[in-house]
Structure formats: C-alpha cells, structure tokens
C-alpha cells in the first residue's frame, strides 16, 4: 500500500493506493513550522504502508533532494524526503505537482498507451511535465517540462514575469495572462472566465483576445512538442475545463508541428482534481511496488 499526499499552499490531501485510489482525509497545511508540517504528514501513517509519495507545488532537485516551495516556508529550501522519512520511518519520494499530473495522465488518464506524454497545465500558471516510457523525466534541477518560462514573446505583448524574465508564455498563457492580453488590447478589465464565455458566445472582442492568446501559446508549445517528441499532450488546469478550448488550441499547435498528425494531439486531461494524488501514488508504485 502506498500513502500519497498532494500538498498545496492551503491543504494537505492524503490518499492510499492499493490498486485504486482512496482518499483518507485532508488537513490545513502548516505553513511556517517544519515540525508541525512533518507531524501533519505523519498523522496519516497507519503502519501498513510500503512508502510515502508526495506531490508538492514546488521543484525538487533530483540530485540534492532540495525543494523550492515558495508558498510553504515550513519546507522551502529543505530536503523534504529525509525530513518526512525521519518522522515516519518510511521511504519517501517527493515530486513536483506538474510531474505528478503528467504521470497520472500518462498511466491512468488521457495518455494511456502512449510512449511520450507531455502533460500541459494552463491555469493560474503555465507548466508541464514529461513522461517517457512510463517514467517521469525530471531533468537537471527538476525543471524538465517547465515550458512556461523563457523569454519567447517580443513586442507589445511581452510582459514582465515573476521569474525575472520578460516575455514568458506564463505571462500570456495563464488565466491572468489571458486577462492581461484582453486589457492590453481593449483597456477593459475582464476576468478569464468572462473572456472565455464571451468567446464561446461569439462576441468579437473576446474572440480577438482568444485568437491572440492561441497565437502566442501555440508557437512555443509546437516547438516544445517537436523537441520532446510527444505522442500526446493531455491539457489540465482551470482554462482546460472550458468546453472547446483544448480543441481550439490543438488546431493551432498541430499546423505548426513538423510531424503531421491525423487525430488530436492536445486532449483534455482525464484525472481531474485527483491527478496530484494519483501521480504521486504511481511514482510510489514504481518505487515500492
Ligand atoms: Zn517566467
């Protein structure tokens, strides 16, 4: 049995995997106190687990094990694996949440049966993870699959990004990015859901913003697909839930690829809100069977 956690800035969600995923509860994330954090995780241990697998909203260096978790000071800059192992006596794996999303989709979701799966997240940020042959590719420093950052956009729609660079896909492709594009074009403050609803209703201004969004996102994503050779790209995150949006982006990505594809390449993710828990559990199964 694997004990899996999905740890975000507000909640710690726990589940056990024993052939199926069964949620076992959640608690508020202790943000400032490392001992309280590890105690919260250890509180779910029953003694029947083979190991603990953790999905965190941060990046873990695969060599040093050091985590960067900006919104949870209690574990930022620590080796979370050894901390939890010391508190529980169990072996621990810690993975980035986008990598867990990609692994869940590759093994249990939309990417089942595909060799090279690039999981893409379009939500409060733009991110992703790469799974090849059923294995997460973490890459140097743990950053593989993170296609949201890098100065690729020039001109009037190049915005300052929180990562320190200018013109990242994250600044235009995320929900806030969509709002930023609309405001730059029209001087109108409109939420991403209203923009998408307007586009679906055939409104011209919202449609132009969505076309611009697609143009700016599709080029970089097509290049990433060329580089990693993805068979299939499950798309998750808040924007992906808008009916028709993934298909709309898919059309623009596919015409920019070197490979000609008959069917869709970008498809809606299938694992939903449990993707973090499920992906962590899959990593645990790979480690401890
Ligand atoms: Zn950036």
Taking the centre of ligand 1 as the mean of its atom positions, its distance from the CA of residue 132, in whole angstroms, is 25
Q: Do 82 and 116 sit in the same domain of this protein?
A: no
Q: Do 121 and 161 sit in the same domain of this protein?
A: yes
Taking the centre of ligand 1 as the mean of its atom positions, its distance from the CA of residue 32, in whole angstroms, is 26
**How many residues does this entry show for the chain?**
289
pLDDT, tens digit (0-9, with 9 covering 90-100), for 145-172: 999 999 999 999 999 999 999 999 999 9
The CATH number that applies at residue 238 is 3.30.420.40
Q: Do 28 and 123 sit in the same domain of this protein?
A: no
Q: Do 44 and 135 sit in the same domain of this protein?
A: no
Number of domains in the chain: 2
Residue 105 lies in a domain: no
Residue 106 lies in a domain: no
Q: Do 42 and 59 sit in the same domain of this protein?
A: yes
What confidence tier does 176 reach under pLDDT thresholds 50, 70, 90?
very high
pLDDT, tens digit (0-9, with 9 covering 90-100), for 11-53: 999 999 999 999 999 999 999 999 999 999 999 999 999 999 9
Taking the centre of ligand 1 as the mean of its atom positions, its distance from the CA of residue 221, in whole angstroms, is 15
Tell me if residue 175 falls in helix, strand or coil: helix
Q: Do 138 and 258 sit in the same domain of this protein?
A: yes
The β-bridge partners of 136 are: 131
Residue 195 lies in a domain: yes
Q: Do 186 and 212 sit in the same domain of this protein?
A: yes
How far apart, in whole angstroms, are the C-alpha atoms of residue 193 and residue 99? 26
pLDDT, tens digit (0-9, with 9 covering 90-100), for 71-124: 999 999 999 999 999 999 999 999 999 999 999 999 999 999 999 999 999 999
Taking the centre of ligand 1 as the mean of its atom positions, its distance from the CA of residue 154, in whole angstroms, is 13
The residue range of the domain holding 211 is 112-270
Q: How are beta strands 92-96 and 51-56 bridged, if at all?
A: parallel
Is there a contact between 16 and 53 (Cβ–Cβ < 8 Å)?
A: no
């Amino acid at each position: 049995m694997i004990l899996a956690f999905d740890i975000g800035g507000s909640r710690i969600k726990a589940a056990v995997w024993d052939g199926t995923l069964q949620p076992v509860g959640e608690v508020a994330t202790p943000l400032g106190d490392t001992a309280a954090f590890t105690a919260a995780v250890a509180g779910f241990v029953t003694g029947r687990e083979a190991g603990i697998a953790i999905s965190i909203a941060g990046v873990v260096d695969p060599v040093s094990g050091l985590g960067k978790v900006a919104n949870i000071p209690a574990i930022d800059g620590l080796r979370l694996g050894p901390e939890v192992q010391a508190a529980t006596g169990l072996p621990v794996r810690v993975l980035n949440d986008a990598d867990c999303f990609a692994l869940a989709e590759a093994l249990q979701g939309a990417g089942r049966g595909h060799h090279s799966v690039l999981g893409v997240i379009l939500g409060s940020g733009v991110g992703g993870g790469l799974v090849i042959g059923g294995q997460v590719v973490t890459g140097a420093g743990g950053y593989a699959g993170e296609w949201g950052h890098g100065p690729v956009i020039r001109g009037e729609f190049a915005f300052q990004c929180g990562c320190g660079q200018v013109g990242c896909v994250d600044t235009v492709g995320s929900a806030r990015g969509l709002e930023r594009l609309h405001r730059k074009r029209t001087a109108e403050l409109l939420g991403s859901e209203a923009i998408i609803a307007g586009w679906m209703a055939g409104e011209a201004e919202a449609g132009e913003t969505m076309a611009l969004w697609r143009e700016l996102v599709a080029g970089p994503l097509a290049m990433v697909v060329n580089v990693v050779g993805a068979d299939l790209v499950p798309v998750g995150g808040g924007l992906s839930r808008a009916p028709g949006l993934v298909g709309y982006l898919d059309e623009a990505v596919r015409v920019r690829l070197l490979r000609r594809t008959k069917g869709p390449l970008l498809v809606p993710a299938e694992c939903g809100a449990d993707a973090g828990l499920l992906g962590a559990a899959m990593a645990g199964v790979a480690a401890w069977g």
